[in-house]
């Protein structure tokens, strides 16, 4: 992603976060910035947003709008782990004009598949928090959704040849911080 951003805005600064040490090893090899931009990585857990923000403040200018990208992440955080509170706390650190970009596995679009996936992950000791549309919409409370709003991920992209988006079990939305 940083390559695309820095191709458009060469001086852009990007900070990635993941809690998987293997991802860190891949990141070290792949995160090469352009001559003007900065790309950084922190190994951290989203359930500890303070450490992420503290590190990001060393790289990003929180006096200007920031894009917070939570792609296919929050369905790994259960309600008991306060998924909505985590996002609310992260967004609260962003200056006005910033954006939240979030995609999230749905429990209501393909319920049988969602139950099957949740059960398989549970066998490996990984609880999932797939959510229905209304629960995903709560991540955007207090923000201004940009068109087309909270829709399936494929509704954000190009349509299929027949003009209809492909089916998707993922909700996606982008919202502006006031």
Query: Which residues is 171 bridged to in the sheet?
Result: 104, 152
Closest listed residue to residue 105, CA positions, set 144, 46, 139, 153: 153
Confidence of residue 10 (pLDDT cuts 50, 70, 90): confident
The C-alpha atoms of residue 44 and residue 21 are separated, in whole angstroms, by 9
Confidence of residue 30 (pLDDT cuts 50, 70, 90): low
91 in Cβ contact with 100 (< 8 Å): yes
Confidence of residue 166 (pLDDT cuts 50, 70, 90): confident
Is 24 exposed, middle or buried, given 0-12, 13-18 or 19+ CB atoms closer than 10 A? middle
Mean pLDDT, residues 26-41 taken together: 73
CATH assignment, 2-176: 3.40.50.150
How confident is the prediction for the chain on average, in pLDDT? 91
Where are the domains positioned within the chain? 2-176
The C-alpha atoms of residue 105 and residue 177 are separated, in whole angstroms, by 23
Considering the entire predicted model, what is its pTM? 0.90
Q: How do residues 103-142 score in pLDDT, each as one tens digit?
A: 999 999 999 999 999 999 999 999 999 999 999 999 999 9
In terms of average pLDDT, the best of 1-15, 68-82, 162-176 is: 68-82
Q: Considering only 3-12, 20-29, 58-67, 71-80, which range has the smallest mean pLDDT?
A: 20-29
Angle at the Cα of 33 from the Cα atoms of 55 and 7, rounded to 5 degrees: 115
Closest listed residue to residue 70, CA positions, set 94, 46, 44: 46
Contacts of 111 (CB under 8 A, 6+ apart): none
Q: How do residues 64-90 score in pLDDT, each as one tens digit?
A: 999 999 999 999 999 999 999 999 999
Q: Over 90: is that where the pLDDT of 176 sits?
A: yes
Angle at the Cα of 108 from the Cα atoms of 142 and 115, rounded to 5 degrees: 125
Give the pLDDT of residue 26. Answer: 72
- The first and second tokens of residue 50, run together, are 């303070």
The C-alpha atoms of residue 137 and residue 100 are separated, in whole angstroms, by 12
- The first and second tokens of residue 55, run together, are 């590190």
Query: Strand, helix or coil at 30?
Result: helix
The C-alpha atoms of residue 110 and residue 166 are separated, in whole angstroms, by 13
Closest listed residue to residue 106, CA positions, set 173, 152, 68: 152
DSSP at 81: G
């Amino acid at each position: 992603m940083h390559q695309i951003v820095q191709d458009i805005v060469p001086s852009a600064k990007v900070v990635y976060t993941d809690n998987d040490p293997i991802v860190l090893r891949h990141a070290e090899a792949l995160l090469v910035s352009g001559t003007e931009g900065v790309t950084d990585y922190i190994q951290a857990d989203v359930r500890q947003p303070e450490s992420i923000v503290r590190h990001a403040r060393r790289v990003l200018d929180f006096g200007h709008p920031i894009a917070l990208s939570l792609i296919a992440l929050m369905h790994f955080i259960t309600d008991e782990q306060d998924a909505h509170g985590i996002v609310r706390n992260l967004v609260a650190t962003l200056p006005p004009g910033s954006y939240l970009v979030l995609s999230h596995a749905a429990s209501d679009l393909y319920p049988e598949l969602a139950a099957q996936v949740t059960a398989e992950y549970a066998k490996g000791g990984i609880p999932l928090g797939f959510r229905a549309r209304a629960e995903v919409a709560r991540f955007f409370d207090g923000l201004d959704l940009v068109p087309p709003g909270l829709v399936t991920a494929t509704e954000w992209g190009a349509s299929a040849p027949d003009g209809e988006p492909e089916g998707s079990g993922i909700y996606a939305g982008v919202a502006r911080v006031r």
